[in-house]
Chains A and B, each alone.
Chain A
């Protein structure tokens, strides 16, 4: 009995600490469904919005996977219309492709700047504007101070920020709520020839007040679906047996 009360008390305290840290849930149940098992890693078991998420990637191929995963998340965030800002100094994103992730490419405004420093400055400005749903910034290096500034900007406006870092030399501590690493996986083999649905290994390296982890997922029919290796395995077993 005492144990139950203690657990309840701790749960309440945790909740109030989270609130004090400015963490709010998205509120719409669909967003929670979107990520499936990954949700358990987050505090309150919901994807944190109104904060900065950091994504790291090493190669062009990984950047493509990362932007795919981020586009998937965006499609959940921007489900009811809304606007996204994509700020970059070296953009290789192909706007029409966003359509395959359930996004309207014309709902994005691309800010193409010359210097990385300007990207951070523009992000700081954009994250303060409550009229947009998400801000995506492509920067190589992010200092703790810069990330703290962005986090402070976001706490007022409740905009969700995504920072995509390719080939970052210095992966130090940042004030971002999470750090993700998305890498490519072979697409699921089905009986049909050709390339399957995009599949990724999603690694949550850091998450404040949550549990880091690693998952294999794919983007299928406009949502995230866990990647299942078993049917193939069974198939191979069958073939061996046959």
Chain B
């Protein structure tokens, strides 16, 4: 069986992606730009812009002169590779061997695949249709060698199917660019009047090598199939999944527990070998009647302890309805993280926040009561009291740049929303003498303040707060504030209780 290769060319890869995300761009002329040598240069264009005469590599100023209403977006240099990676993984449905052809194409080794689609024509039509449905503009060619498929996809005329053993005929009418040569060689060929491969392919090899170098000959050989060219295939990520089919359907809790333990054992073994830890896991039970029962767990730090994971599942295990019985159990771990085994301590002291036992406790609590009830806080760079701390991203997050503020006194108990109070205070800036809170009048004996906290105007508009720390005649200590200036409209609030 002879080898067959497909080359997929995305003439507008990045712009297609942008117009997928912002559909209004589809009908407008739009380009991506980047700065190069101190000026803005177009890196890719969409179809509309191209029809109006804008091409890649053109300075942005020139393009704007042609179309003043041109839409411009900054280019992301790593975007094409990312997109190609994603598309390559997706193309594994057509053939197991898919390679990336930077900067704007894919190469597929399709030997022995097209007949499954009922022939090469249908095969190519399916690829084109599916990619176009995804929103990408493509040209797809199939040939015996990578070189010809590549050239045909970019420069060939329809039909883009090169029959077997017809390499030479296909090459004859292609321009020299189709051989993937360096731009200098291409320029030289055009200068010599060699605009088609057919014009020089029959020239004596030694003179071609002398004029255009060994690279040129090697590319020609690759296209003709005299020299073998390899594809570096993308490796699909193997999912962390374990399956356990049952000969007889299982309907008891003990049975399900045994199945879960079996699957966890297998999964944990694999995780240990790959030095990974589990973050999320799903346990799916396929019932005889076709329904799927599933439970999911989540951990706070990578874990590969079988007992711990089983305990987490155990809390939810009772929610599984086996009904007539379960015939297949599947355990999936969609999210895993690197987990290096820690050195065990001889003594059993508290390991602080990094202790595994603490992480296991938090996992248990979050499975029982929900993830959102677990809070840990780190300081935030704000003076406004409500914003002076923020939820930590993880249990292990350390304070690095910003530490807890020590010089400003804050009360231990703070009301969720400050409550309005009635106050008698001498102006301009003296602390209050009396205030009424919940129907009780408090006479203030001692006071500290004011501590002015300004609004952070970039977040929120409004008046500043003047905080006072006051103590009444019975020793109760409060945190009061006045919203606004004393000589304008202002209001007093109680915000907290000092210990």
With A65-B499, A92-B413, A184-B476 already in contact, the answer to whether A195 and B471 are too (CB < 8 A) is: yes
- Chain A residues near B378 (CB-CB < 8 A): 106
Q: B399-436: which have CB < 8 Å to A? A: 399, 404-406, 409-416
**B446 CB-CB contact with A under 8 Å:** yes
Given the complex of chains A and B, what is the CA–CA distance between A195 and B475 in angstroms?
Answer: 10
Chain B residue nearest to A68 (CB atoms) is B499
What DSSP secondary structure best describes chain B's contact surface?
mixed
Contact A125 B361 (CB under 8 A): yes
Q: A58-77: which have CB < 8 Å to B? A: 60-61, 63-69, 71
Given the complex of chains A and B, what is the CA–CA distance between A92 and B365 in angstroms?
Answer: 21
Contact A122 B365 (CB under 8 A): yes
Given the complex of chains A and B, what is the CA–CA distance between A174 and B360 in angstroms?
Answer: 30
Chain B residue nearest to A82 (CB atoms) is B350
Chain B residue nearest to A196 (CB atoms) is B446
Interface residues on B, range: 35 or more
Interface residues on A, range: 35 or more
Chain A residue nearest to B468 (CB atoms) is A195
Given the complex of chains A and B, what is the CA–CA distance between A184 and B374 in angstroms?
Answer: 31
What DSSP secondary structure best describes chain A's contact surface?
mixed
Picked from A60, A112, A125, the residue with its CB within 8 Å of the CB of B497 is A60
- Chain A residues near B448 (CB-CB < 8 A): 194-195
**B140 CB-CB contact with A under 8 Å:** no
Picked from B348, B356, B358, B376, the residue with its CB within 8 Å of the CB of A106 is B376
**B373 CB-CB contact with A under 8 Å:** yes
- Chain A residues near B447 (CB-CB < 8 A): 194-195
Given the complex of chains A and B, what is the CA–CA distance between A15 and B443 in angstroms?
Answer: 51
The interface bits of chain A over 89-114 (1 if a CB of B lies within 8 angstroms of the residue's CB, else 0) are 00011111111100011111111111
- Chain B residues near A81 (CB-CB < 8 A): 350, 352
Given the complex of chains A and B, what is the CA–CA distance between A131 and B362 in angstroms?
Answer: 11
With A109-B374, A110-B377 already in contact, the answer to whether A94 and B410 are too (CB < 8 A) is: yes
Contact B414 A130 (CB under 8 A): no
Given the complex of chains A and B, what is the CA–CA distance between A110 and B392 in angstroms?
Answer: 11
**A185 CB-CB contact with B under 8 Å:** yes
- Chain A residues near B476 (CB-CB < 8 A): 61, 184
Picked from A82, A104, A122, A184, the residue with its CB within 8 Å of the CB of B369 is A122
The smallest beta-carbon distance between B404 and chain A, in angstroms, is: 4
With A64-B499, A132-B358 already in contact, the answer to whether A97 and B475 are too (CB < 8 A) is: no
Interface residues, chain B, with chain A CB atoms under 8 Å away? 348, 350-353, 355-358, 360-362, 364-365, 368-369, 373-379, 385, 388-389, 392, 395, 397, 399, 404-406, 409-416, 445-448, 469-471, 473-477, 496-499
